[in-house]
């Protein structure tokens, strides 16, 4: 099927006719990261708006919604999103600066996430407990029941404004929790479009409230609100763990950042691995929590792999996200681009070497950068760069490769390219990550897999089935004849 041409004007048209939430709150601008221009204003919600949103969400939660209706709404939302896919891709491209190709993929994935959630809601069931296994249980019929926890405060990042939001909103609604959503200040428009989508799908008042803000006010108010039972947060590790400290009595679910490694052994298909690594390291301009950042390559093939990577990277076009030929757009802000360039310069000054083209320093969209051998103390090795940059690090033995991969505070996903089955097995057992992908990049996330990290990268698993478990608690029921 031929793709419709999506333009910046289409996105702006949608924005102009839809921005009316909390018109009485102070307003802040949303910017197009490529042009730098303001595309509209949104409410800068504070405690007052959050209080009223939580009150509405609590009313909805207490009223309840039958499961069959929740399923219908989720299915309807999936159909609606598929119908409105161009409009959603346009809005995402406008406020994130991600290329249309990346935005179309995000919309298609979010549609699938809604479908998976609806299917999961049809089948989620509870377990009968064998009460008579204990003498005290003789004559009782006992079971566990999953009960929704209450109002969910969903806080989301800028980089995947639709899919990260759907991964919170849909499972919450599926189990009967209402949601107050606080999107990132850079990308609130997609969240408002998602609210509109659910409204059209038949979701009633209070079930999905959206509190936009200009930085962190609404987020902080949500975290501190006593009627919010769960904070489901996706974002940076620093903010995530700070929230966990601030809300010790809430269920706090954290999906955080990483510095993803991929090991390439001497038995790997190098051309194939290079293509996949370029997708994983440079897609979405590297602004993905599972973006490939460290490529750990056997010393006998490291330089050949760098040549392959440079060749693939040279074909990637950076520029205006609305140009259908462009693969990667700008980073979210000029500050983010300056930070990335500073980290690259630091790695080079410390002894790393740029492979292939020298990075363009004058454009808002950074072309892919490959650094051979970034030193251990450089920020590229230690932290999450969140830009289209990878470093290639040589190793001697496979154990050394595993040690380099594990040498990080993060633990989201790791990848290994090898033909050796014993290496596959030891990688699975020894890599300290939430997901290990053999002969693939760590950047692959199936929307129904258990997805999440260990250590600094988080404390939960998303994917409809797993999120629905986290958003419910178990209530035990025992019945005896009276
Ligand atoms: P961020 O942590 O700066 O912000 C995330 C959200 O938290 C935003 O909505 C922000 O307004 C809000 N916030 C900021 N301070 C707050 C506070 N004190 N209290 C409550 N809310 C607050 O992250 P970002 O820059 O928007 O996103 C990038 C980060 O997200 C990266 O670290 C990336 O790895 C991570 N991420 C993780 C996943 C995952 O699934 N693990 C997915 C996407 C992004």
Q: Atom 13, ligand 1: which residue's CA is nearest?
A: 216
What is the rounded CA–CA span in Å between residue 189 and residue 10?
14
Ligand 1 in reach of 90 Cβ (< 6 A) = no
Residue with the nearest Cα to atom 20 of ligand 1?
219
Question: What's the gap between Cα 69 and its chain centre?
Answer: 27
CA-to-CA distance for 173 and 154, rounded, in angstroms?
A: 12
Give the pTM. 0.97
Euclidean distance between CA atoms 452 and 468, whole angstroms: 14
Q: Is the CB of 246 under 6 A from ligand 1?
A: no
Q: Whose CA is nearest to atom 35 of ligand 1?
A: 235
CA distance 167 to 464: 7
CA distances from 319 to 132, 282, 327, 328, 367 (A): 67, 13, 8, 6, 8
CA distance 208 to 151: 10
Query: Are 154 and 223 spatial neighbours (Cβ–Cβ below 8 Å)?
Result: no
Q: How far apart are CA 159 and CA 332, in angstroms?
A: 8
Q: Which segments of the chain have a pLDDT < 70?
A: 1-2, 20-23, 357-362
* pLDDT score for 457: 98
Residue 289 Cβ contacting ligand 1 at under 6 Å:
yes
pLDDT value for 403: 98
DSSP 143: E
What is the full DSSP assignment across 403-455?
Answer: HHHH-SS--SEEEEE-S-HHHHHHHHHH--SSEEEETS-TT---TTS-B--SG
Query: Is the separation of the CB atoms in 417 and 265 below 8 Å?
Result: yes
* Ligand 1 atom nearest to CA at 445: 40
For 167-213, give the DSSP string: HHHHHHHHHT--EEEE--TT-HHHHHHHHHHHHHTT--TTSEEE---
The sign one gets for the Cα dihedral 267, 271, 276, 282 is positive
Q: Residue 183 CA: which ligand 1 atom is closest?
A: 9
Q: Which residue's CA is minimally distant from atom 40 of ligand 1?
A: 255
Ligand 1 probe mutation, 157, 246, 411, most atoms within 8 A of CB: 157
Decide: 164 in ligand 1 pocket, CB within 6 A. Answer: yes
pLDDT of residue 17: 72
SS3 43: strand
Residues 6+ apart with CB under 8 A from 422: none
Residues with catalytic roles: 255, 289
**Closest listed residue to residue 198, CA positions, set 324, 92, 69:** 69
**Cα separations (Å) of 451 from 93, 258, 343, 468?**
25, 13, 29, 13
Alpha carbons 352 and 335: distance in angstroms, whole number? 23
153 CA → ligand 1 middle, Å: 14
From residue 207, alpha-carbon distances to 185, 192, 256 in Å are 22, 14, 26
Taking the CA atoms of the chain, what radius of gyration do you get in angstroms?
23
Dihedral of the alpha carbons of 77, 81, 83, 85, in degrees to the nearest 10? 180
Instruction: Indicate the helix (H) or strand (E) that contains 82.
Output: helix 67-83
Query: How far is residue 186's CA from residue 95's CA, in Å, rounded to a whole number?
Result: 7
Q: Is the CB of 184 under 6 A from ligand 1?
A: yes
Compute the distance between CA of residue 450 and CA of residue 448 in angstroms, rounded to an integer: 7
| Pocket flag, ligand 1, residue 384 (CB < 6 Å) | yes
157 to each of 160, 216, 265, how far by Cα in Å?
7, 12, 34
Give nearest CA residue, ligand 1 atom 32.
236
Pocket test for ligand 1, best of 50, 236, 340 (most atoms within 8 A of CB): 236
How far is the centre of ligand 1, averaged over its atoms, from the C-alpha of 308 (Å)?
Answer: 33
Short-list 253, 251, 311, CA closest to 278: 311
The whole-angstrom separation of Cα 309 and Cα 331 is: 21
The predicted structure's pLDDT at residue 4: 80
Predicted pLDDT of residue 359: 60
Q: Rounded to whole angstroms, how far apart are CA atoms 287 and 64? A: 38
């Amino acid at each position: 099927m031929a793709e419709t041409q999506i333009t910046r004007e289409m996105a702006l048209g949608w924005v102009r006719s839809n921005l009316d939430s909390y018109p009485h709150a102070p307003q802040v601008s949303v910017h197009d990261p490529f042009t730098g221009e303001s595309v509209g204003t949104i409410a800068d919600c504070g405690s007052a708006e959050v209080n009223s949103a939580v009150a509405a969400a609590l009313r909805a939660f207490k009223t309840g919604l039958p499961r069959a209706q929740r399923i219908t709404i989720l299915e309807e939302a999936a159909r609606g999103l598929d119908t409105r896919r161009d409009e959603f891709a346009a809005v995402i491209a406008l406020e994130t600066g991600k290329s249309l190709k990346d935005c179309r993929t995000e919309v298609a994935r979010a549609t699938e996430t809604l479908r998976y959630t609806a299917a999961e809601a049809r089948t989620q069931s509870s377990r009968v407990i064998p009460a008579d296994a204990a003498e005290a249980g003789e004559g009782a019929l006992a079971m566990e029941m999953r009960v929704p926890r209450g109002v969910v405060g969903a806080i989301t990042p800028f980089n995947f404004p639709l899919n990260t939001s759907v991964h919170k909103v849909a499972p919450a609604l599926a189990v009967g929790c209402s949601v107050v959503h606080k999107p990132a200040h850079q990308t609130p428009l997609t969240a408002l479009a998602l609210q509109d989508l659910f409204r059209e799908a038949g979701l009633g008042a209070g079930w999905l409230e959206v509190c936009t803000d200009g930085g962190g006010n609404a987020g902080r108010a949500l975290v501190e609100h006593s009627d919010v039972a769960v904070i489901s947060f996706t974002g940076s590790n620093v903010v995530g763990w700070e929230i966990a400290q601030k809300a010790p009595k809430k269920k706090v679910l954290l999906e955080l950042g990483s510095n993803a490694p991929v090991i390439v052994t001497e038995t790997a298909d190098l051309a194939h691995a290079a293509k996949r690594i370029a997708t994983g390291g440079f897609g979405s301009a590297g602004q993905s929590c599972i973006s490939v950042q460290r490529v750990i390559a056997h010393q006998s093939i490291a330089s050949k792999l760098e040549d392959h990577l440079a060749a693939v990277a040279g074909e990637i076009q950076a520029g205006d996200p609305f140009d259908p030929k462009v693969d990667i757009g700008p980073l979210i802000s000029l500050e983010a681009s300056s930070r990335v360039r500073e980290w690259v310069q630091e790695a080079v000054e410390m002894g790393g070497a740029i492979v292939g083209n020298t990075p363009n320093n004058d454009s808002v969209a950074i072309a892919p950068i490959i650094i051979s051998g970034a030193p251990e103390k450089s920020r590229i090795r230690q932290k999450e760069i969140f830009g289209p940059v990878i470093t290639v690090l040589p190793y001697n033995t496979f154990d050394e490769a595993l040690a380099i991969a594990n040498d990080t505070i993060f633990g989201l996903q790791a990848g290994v390219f090898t033909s050796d089955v014993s290496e596959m097995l030891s990688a699975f057992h020894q890599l300290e990550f939430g997901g290990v992908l053999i002969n693939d990049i760590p950047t692959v996330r199936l929307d129904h897999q258990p997805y999440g990290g260990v250590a600094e990268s988080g404390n939960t698993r998303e994917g409809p089935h797993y999120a629905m478990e986290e958003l419910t608690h178990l209530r035990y029921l025992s019945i005896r004849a009276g």
